[in-house]
């Protein structure tokens, strides 16, 4: 697109505007990173600054010298993400395929049945009681996976994709005597790879960043995912000082446990890696979510 000469000034102004906005959006990230590499003395003396007086990697040294809780957090989060995504994709496709078939007699009632759960729910109280008192899922990995394993939004997105698959392929497979299950596994699933990949991305993103169910259902130390570890670290500064890390701090001969910088270092180590990975898939987030936010 070519712009008239008068447009060039406009372009400069708009570019300047976005440069400022982007700076403002990025600075908060920078602050956390900078705090994590500032020496504790400097933090105690001057508080959190963008230009610290003394840099130090002590916080990372301490966290990484006793990485048990962090590693365990990664373990739980990875397990939940992998299992959750696989089960969720399969269940979503299995639910979406029949209701995408116009010759399926019950496609309308089932579509409504699934869709209605977007509009209406029992809310948090009955759900909590169901999960803890009736299904007895408190302090289990399942409590982190089950609540979001079959999202009606994802079913609608998947149905939208499957609606476009040519019915003739299915018809001819049926003529050849294939069962519906066989058609689903041999034809539908392979044809849906692009949709499954996009949905898989959303789902894994959701599981990776999930903290709500952990907050509700996990209170032992065994199944703490990364996000819950971060919640606890943020909520009580003593949490870290009472952890095995304090020992490490002793060994590394710090007079006081550097809780301020260690806390931010935890945030970086737990949250950083995905912040680097997910943006590469930004395109798919937009594509899929626009569809999802409008119509399935």
Would you call 296 helix, strand, or coil by DSSP? coil
Residue number with CB closer to other proteins (199 or 264): 264
| Tokens read off for 49 | 């600054």
Residue number with CB closer to other proteins (27 or 247): 27
- How far is 39 from 16, CA to CA, in rounded Å? 35
Q: How many CB atoms lie within 10 A of CB 215?
A: 13
Report the largest interatomic distance among the alpha carbons of the chain, rounded to a whole angstrom.
79
State the minimum distance, in angstroms, from the CB of residue 66 to other proteins: 20
Residue number with CB closer to other proteins (124 or 247): 124
DSSP letter at 221? S
Q: How many CB atoms lie within 10 A of CB 104?
A: 13
Residue number with CB closer to other proteins (64 or 146): 146
State the minimum distance, in angstroms, from the CB of residue 117 to other proteins: 4
Residue number with CB closer to other proteins (49 or 172): 49
- How far is 37 from 5, CA to CA, in rounded Å? 47
State the minimum distance, in angstroms, from the CB of residue 251 to other proteins: 26
Quick check: 52 and 46 in contact, CB under 8 A? yes
What DSSP assignment string belongs to 157-217?
HHHHHHTTS-HHHHHHHHHTT--HHHHIIIIIHHHTHHHHHHHHHHHHHHHHT--HHHHHH
Backbone φ and ψ for 254, nearest 5 degrees, come out as -95, 135
Residue number with CB closer to other proteins (100 or 243): 100
């Amino acid at each position: 697109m070519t712009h008239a000469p008068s447009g060039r000034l406009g372009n400069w102004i708009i570019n300047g505007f976005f440069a400022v906005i982007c700076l403002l959006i990025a600075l908060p990230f920078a602050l956390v990173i900078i705090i994590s590499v500032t020496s504790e003395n400097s933090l105690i003396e001057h508080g959190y600054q963008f230009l610290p007086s003394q840099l130090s990697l002590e916080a990372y040294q301490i966290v990484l010298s006793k990485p048990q809780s962090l590693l365990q957090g990664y373990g739980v989060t990875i397990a939940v993400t992998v299992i959750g995504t696989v089960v969720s994709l399969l269940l979503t496709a299995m639910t979406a395929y029949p209701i995408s078939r116009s010759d399926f007699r019950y496609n309308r009632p089932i579509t409504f049945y699934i869709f209605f759960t977007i509009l209406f729910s029992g809310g948090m109280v009955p759900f909590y009681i169901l999960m803890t008192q009736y299904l007895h899922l408190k302090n289990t990995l399942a409590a982190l996976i089950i609540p979001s394993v079959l999202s009606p939004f994802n079913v609608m997105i998947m149905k939208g994709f499957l609606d476009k698959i040519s019915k003739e392929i299915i018809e001819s497979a049926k003529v050849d005597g294939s069962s519906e299950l066989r058609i689903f596994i041999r034809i539908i699933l392979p044809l849906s790879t692009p949709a499954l990949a996009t949905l898989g991305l959303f789902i894994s993103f959701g599981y990776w960043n999930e903290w709500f169910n952990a907050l509700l259902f996990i209170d032992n130390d065994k199944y703490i995912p990364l996000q819950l570890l971060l919640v606890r670290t943020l909520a009580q500064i003593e949490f870290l000082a009472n952890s095995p890390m304090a020992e490490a701090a002793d060994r590394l001969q710090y007079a006081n446990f550097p809780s301020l910088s260690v806390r931010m270092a935890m945030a970086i180590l737990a949250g950083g890696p995905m912040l680097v990975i997910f943006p590469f898939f930004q395109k798919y987030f937009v594509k899929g979510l626009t569809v999802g936010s409008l119509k399935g």
